[in-house]
């Protein structure tokens, strides 16, 4: 066995000194690190010292070493956010002064902005009741069709959103259809007759004799809200009963129930929870969903 000057064994096969470590007869050769590896290692050390000096690095007792460049990602984000908000606030302010749909439609940028903002607000606040696409559910009106209970102009939609319908806001839209059966205003037979009349004017199969008996009852009890011809009245939020679009349903049993018990659906008000600008953006969005007026 040849021995090096450090008193380590020299491997016979390679002629390289071993480290003296041995595991189950396997010995470790004492080869130097490759030069390329060492160069990268030293460059990294030098780089890291430069990095410590220039950039935020070590934690301290009170804060951290900020580095001579005082770089801060957090500040960068703040600056970027402020820029986005400044840009938005211009469009938000513009929205507040808008009075008609045509005005918005003439400004493609503003339209695009309000559609995007309105769409995401709708998903967060309205989709639970009106459906993700505004298609509605029984008792929760579809916002994608041409029928409007309270009106489909930008201003009408805005008013509905601000104050709600039968909500707790003092300026709420309010109109309550009586519970004609429960409150004893009409007998069961009269309710059956007037149901047949509603079936008749909505173009469905009906018992002609009963409908004829129901006609004068309708004229007496119902036209003050639903109009002489049953076409509804947006000022009173009384739905059109002739167009085959139903809020609660057009089956005889559902119509009978509506007349017997009344309904009184509630739409919450948003004036406290959303800003005026958000409400305009939402109104533009809802208006564009279907047949806005
Ligand atoms: C808690 C359920 C609920 C939520 C949430 C809700 N709505 Fe409604 N909404 C209703 C009901 C119920 C009506 C119908 C009230 C009635 O009988 O006239 C209605 C009516 C409306 C109308 C009037 C439709 C017409 O034909 O005139 C509009 C517009 C409307 N909602 C938009 C919205 C928007 C936009 C949001 C989100 C900010 C929203 N709603 C959130 C329940 C809700
Ligand atoms: C005081 C006003 C008023 C009177 C009077 C009134 N209604 Fe209504 N009616 C309403 C309103 C408001 C609604 C909207 C639904 C709600 O209350 O949520 C409605 C809804 C209905 C609906 C449901 C429509 C749908 O789309 O599902 C039917 C059917 C109806 N009324 C029939 C009648 C009949 C028949 C009479 C007479 C016996 C009558 N109403 C009298 C105000 C009135």
- Cα 176 to middle of ligand 2, angstroms: 8
Confidence at residue 151, expressed as pLDDT on a 0 to 100 scale = 93
Confidence at residue 8, expressed as pLDDT on a 0 to 100 scale = 81
- Please work out whether the CB of residue 197 comes within 6 Å of at least one atom of ligand 2: no
Residues 67, 65: Cα–Cα separation, whole Å: 6
List the residue whose alpha carbon is closest to atom 39 of ligand 2: 222
Among 198, 291, 184, CA closest to 253: 198
Residue whose tokens read 């000022």: 235
- Please work out whether the CB of residue 198 comes within 6 Å of at least one atom of ligand 2: yes
Residue whose tokens read 């939020």: 237
Residue whose tokens read 């934690």: 59
Tens-digit pLDDT string for the chain (293 aa)? 778 787 888 888 888 888 888 899 888 898 889 999 999 999 999 999 999 999 988 888 888 888 888 888 889 999 999 998 888 788 778 888 877 778 888 888 888 988 999 999 999 999 999 999 999 999 999 999 989 999 999 899 999 999 999 999 999 999 999 999 999 999 999 999 999 999 999 999 999 999 999 999 999 999 999 999 999 999 999 999 999 999 999 999 999 999 999 999 999 999 999 988 899 999 999 999 876 67
Best residue among 235, 267, 278 to mutate for probing ligand 1, ranked by most atoms within 8 Å of CB: 267
């Amino acid at each position: 066995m040849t021995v090096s000057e450090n008193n380590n064994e020299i491997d016979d096969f390679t002629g390289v000194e071993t480290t003296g470590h041995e595991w189950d007869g396997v010995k470790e050769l004492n080869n130097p690190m490759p030069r390329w590896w060492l160069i990268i290692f030293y460059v990294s050390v030098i780089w890291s010292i430069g990095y410590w000096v220039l950039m935020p690095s070590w934690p301290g007792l009170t804060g951290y070493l900020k580095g001579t460049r005082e770089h801060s990602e957090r500040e960068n984000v703040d600056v970027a956010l402020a820029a986005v908000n400044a840009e938005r606030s211009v469009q938000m302010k513009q929205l507040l002064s808008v009075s008609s749909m045509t005005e918005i439609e003439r400004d493609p940028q503003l339209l695009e902005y309000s559609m995007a903002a309105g769409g995401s607000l709708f998903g967060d606040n309205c989709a639970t009741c009106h459906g993700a696409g505004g298609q509605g559910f029984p008792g929760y009106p579809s916002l994608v069709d041409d029928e409007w209970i309270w009106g489909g102009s930008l201003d009408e939609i805005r008013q509905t959103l601000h104050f709600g319908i039968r909500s707790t806001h003092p300026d709420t839209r309010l109109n309550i259809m009586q519970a004609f059966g429960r409150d004893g205003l009409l007998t069961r037979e009269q309710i059956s007759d007037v149901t047949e009349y509603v079936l008749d004017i909505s173009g469905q199969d009906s018992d002609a004799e009963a409908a004829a008996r129901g006609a004068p009852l309708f004229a007496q009890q119902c036209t003050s809200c639903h109009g002489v011809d049953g076409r509804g009245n947006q000022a009173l939020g009384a739905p059109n009963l002739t167009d085959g679009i139903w809020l609660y349903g057009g089956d005889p049993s559902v119509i009978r129930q509506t007349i017997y018990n009344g309904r009184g659906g509630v739409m919450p008000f948003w004036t406290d929870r959303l800003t005026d600008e958000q409400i305009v953006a939402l109104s533009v969005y809802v208006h564009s969903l279907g047949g806005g007026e």
